[in-house]
Amino acid sequence: MNLLNCHQINELLSAYLENELDPTTTLTVANHLEKCSLCERELAFLTNVSNLVRSAVEQIDKQDLSLISRASTINAYVKSQIAINPQTSPQAQTSQTPVNSYTSAETASTNNVVRLNTHQRRLAGGKKILLSLAASLAIVFLSLFAITYYSTTTGPLMSGVARNHQLCNVIELSNIGWHKGHSTENLLEVNNIKLPQLNSLGIEFYNLHPCKVYNAPFLHLMYKKGNKPVSIYYGSENTVAKLKETIPNIVPNKLYLQQESDLQIGAISTLKNNLWLIAGQLTEQEINAITSQLPMNSSSETEQSQLFH
């Protein structure tokens, strides 16, 4: 490529930053930058602007916890629609002319797309659509009922869930699982925590998933001691605030203990104001021993955990 002037180089700087130039042009720009302080300064400025935008957006994403619940709701709804409405399934498309993926997406008909929220109001009548809607609402209400039932009939805390893991296992098996698509490692990674190893206490880990208690998000780590379930919940700052309504005296690094019939519950918040909650048919000593194995003030712990990421 011929030598370019500053104005021409300036127009290539964006693409240079994103490595979108061909090798020859990249070299031309790099050579120019070595000699031209003005263009070098311009590049530094553009880099800085890009970094600031990324950083601002990243901060907002970290702080906007509503994204997590909105995404969960949408996924649950889409799954329920897929389960209810087999017409949208790939097998029902076999009579259609095969088309390129992008083209098909562009030309997709909206005839059998059912939407909630503002779109509900715009939906024309139709038995099929109403039935689909009724069925998905029924799923939502049944789930809410189940959660309410377990949290109110077996004690003020999440003892119903902790005592037998029954509700969580139902969620695991149902099509409205909140964690589908996430591996165990992924969920731990996005929440910046390491799996507490409790084998030395005879407590073995077997599963984990995002769980909601008191409408606050927890990461539910499911363990077993023999045949008895042991639950360890990891909660965000948001969760702590919610739980403080029930247990006002949760203080950082101090274990709170509560006995509910055969269930021993321990709650402890970290200096970063995240929360660990332990529940199971355990003794106080066992709760203490488990607590000592939990990462309390890890430097990797973020200010805001990203449950349900």
Partner 1 sequence: MTTDYSASPPLTEQLENFESLALLHTQTLLRTATRMCGNASEADDIVQETLLRAWKYWHTFELGSNCRAWLFRIMINLIHRRRESLSSLAEHVSVDEPAMANVLRFEPKLEMDERGALSALNSLPKEYRDIIFLVLVEEFSYKEAAVMLNVPMGTVMSRLHRARQMMKKLICPDQKEDVATA
Segment 162 to 181, residues that bind partner 1, using CB under 8 A: 180-181
The whole-angstrom separation of Cα 26 and Cα 275 is 50
Contact segment (CB under 8 A) with partner 1 among 22-30, 36-44, 197-205, 289-297 equals 36-44
Q: Residue for token digits 């930053």? A: 17
Which sign does the torsion angle of CA 142, 79, 213, 120 carry?
negative
- Give the binding range for partner 1 (CB under 8 A) out of 12-20, 155-163, 209-217, 273-281: 12-20
Cβ(205)–Cβ(195) under 8 Å?
Answer: yes
> Minimum distance from CB of 72 to partner 1 (Å)?
8
Paired with 83 in beta bridges are none
Among positions 209-238, residues that touch partner 1 (CB under 8 A) are none
- Stretch touching partner 1 by CB under 8 A, among 8-16, 249-257, 259-267, 292-300: 8-16
CA-based Rg of the chain, rounded to a whole angstrom?
26
Residues contacting 211, CB < 8 A, separation 6+: 161, 168, 171, 178, 217, 218, 219, 220, 233
Instruction: Pick the binder of partner 1 from 28, 29, 32, 68 (CB under 8 A).
Output: 68
Distance CA 251, CA 267 (A): 9
CB of 175 within 8 A of CB of 80? yes
> Are 279 and 263 in contact, with CB atoms under 8 Å apart?
yes
Residue 45 binding partner 1, by CB under 8 A: yes
Residue (61 or 284) nearer to partner 1, CB: 61
Q: Would you count residue 131 as binding partner 1 (CB under 8 A)?
A: no
254: contact with partner 1 by CB under 8 A: no
- Of residues 75-114, those binding partner 1 (CB under 8 A): 75, 77-79, 81-82, 88-91, 93-94, 98-102, 104-106, 108, 110, 112-114
Closer to partner 1 by CB, 26 or 88: give it: 88
Within 8 A by CB and 6+ apart from 46, the residues are 13, 14, 17
Total residues in contact with partner 1, by rule CB under 8 A = 71
24 lies in the site for partner 1, by CB under 8 A: no
Q: How far from chain centre, in Å, is Cα 208?
A: 13
First-to-last alpha carbon distance for the chain, in angstroms, is 46
Cβ proximity to partner 1, 118 vs 259, nearer residue: 118
Asked if 59 interacts with partner 1 (CB under 8 A), we say yes
**Residue 128, interface with partner 1 (CB under 8 A)?**
no
